Amino acid sequence: MIIGVPKEIKNHEYRVGMVPASVRELTNRGHQVIVETNAGSGIGFTDQDYLDVGAEISQLASDIFARADMIVKVKEPQAVERAMLRHDQILFTYLHLAPDLPQTQELQQSGAVCIAYETVTDARGGLPLLAPMSEVAGRMSIQAGAMALEKSRGGSGMLLGGVPGVEPAKVVIIGGGMVGANAAQMAVGLGADVVVLDRSIDALRRLNVQFGSKVKGVYSTADAIERHVLAADLVIGGVLIPGAAAPKLVSRDLVARMKPGSAIVDVAIDQGGCVETSHATTHQDPTYIVNDVVHYCVANMPGAVARTSTFALNNVTLPYIITLAQQGYRKALLADEHLLNGLNVMHGKITCEEVAESHHLPFVSPVTLLS
C-alpha cells in the first residue's frame, strides 16, 4: 500500500501523522510511505530523518493526495485537502464531524473511506485513539485556565493555588472522564479547590479512589451545574458523547451570572462545545470575553505541545495503520468491530449514527456497505 503523510495546515498545528519510527514499521513491511517536505519539522524531524527510514519526500501535498491509497493525518482535513480526496481512498485522522456539516458533506462528495480516530473503540468501551489527546488536553486545560485568570488577560487576577493566608481558586470540572480526571490531577497538584461533576457514579467512584478528599465528586444535575458554576473561578468543559455534538450544559444565561473575571476552558469545543457562549478559537488568538468571563476554546489544544502529542498519538494509531495497510480497509474493518466503529463516511454515505443524527442526514449501516 502507498501511505501518504501530508504536512498539517491548520492554524499553529505542528503535529504530524507519523514519526520516522512509525514510518519504519511500514517500510519494513514492504509498504511505500510518502511524506510531505517539512511535515515533521515542527517537532524536530527533518526530511532526512524520514528518508533514512525508507520514506519518499514529496514537495507537494497534491502529489501525496493523488498517489496515496491511505492518507494519515492528525487534524480534520481542511477544505483544500478535502477537495483532493479520491473515491475509495482511505482517510485516517481526527474528524469531529458532528458539529461540522460542511466537512461532512465534502467528505461525502469525495467518495473516500473516512475513519475517525475519535470513534474507534476498544473492548472496554473506551476510545483508545482519543484517550492520549484527552489526557494532554485535560492537563493543558488547567495551564490555559490559570493564564486566563491573569488580570492582563481579562481574568480576575487569581492564582489557582492561592498562597498561605489566601484562599485558592475554585475549579469546577464538568465531566469526569479522561479529560476531567487529568484536569483534576493538575488542578489538585497546583493546590486549587476542585469539584468534578459527572452523571456516572462509577466515574465519581474512580475519582474518589484516585484523589480522596482532594476532589469533591458531585452528581451532575442542572441544579448542581448552576450552583457550582456560579461559585467557580475556573470552569473546565470536559463532556464527551462519542461521535455526537457535545450537549450545551452551561447556558448563555448562566455565563452572564458567573463571577466577573472568571474563566471557561471548553475542551469539548472539537465537538461543538458544552458552553452555549463557546466558539472555536486558535492558538494564535485563543481567548475572547463574554459577559466579563474569559473563554479559552482552542480546537486543537494538544497542538501546542506537538512533540509530546505526536508521540502519544502515534503510539496508539500505529497498530491500526499497519492493519489497514496489511489487510486493506474492507477486510480490516469487517474483522474488527472496534475499528469499524471508527468508520464515519464511506462512498458518500454516513456510517456513524451520531453524525447522521446531528445533521439530520440518512444513516447507512457500515456492515451493509462493506458487504
Residues identified as active-site: 96, 270
The three-point CA angle 111-77-94 to 5° equals 95
Asked if 93 and 270 count as a contact pair (C-beta separation under 8 A), the reply is no
- State the DSSP string of 146-168: HHHTSGGGTS----TT-BTTBPP
Q: Which residues have a Cβ under 8 Å from the Cβ of 358 and sit 6 or more positions away?
A: 97, 98, 99, 244, 245
Q: Which residues have a Cβ under 8 Å from the Cβ of 51 and sit 6 or more positions away?
A: 57
Which sign, positive or negative, has the C-alpha torsion 83, 88, 89, 92?
positive
CA distance readout (Å), 250 to 140, 243, 255, 266: 21, 20, 7, 10
The residue whose grid cell reads 473506551 is 126
Measure the CA–CA gap between 220 and 222, rounded to whole angstroms.
Answer: 7
CA distance readout (Å), 157 to 74, 189, 293, 351: 35, 20, 12, 47
Give start and end residues of each alpha helix (H) in 328-365: 329-335, 337-340, 353-359
CA distance readout (Å), 94 to 25, 51, 162, 174, 317: 22, 26, 38, 23, 11
Measure the CA–CA gap between 149 and 128, rounded to whole angstroms.
Answer: 32
Report the 10 Å Cβ neighbour count for 162.
Answer: 15
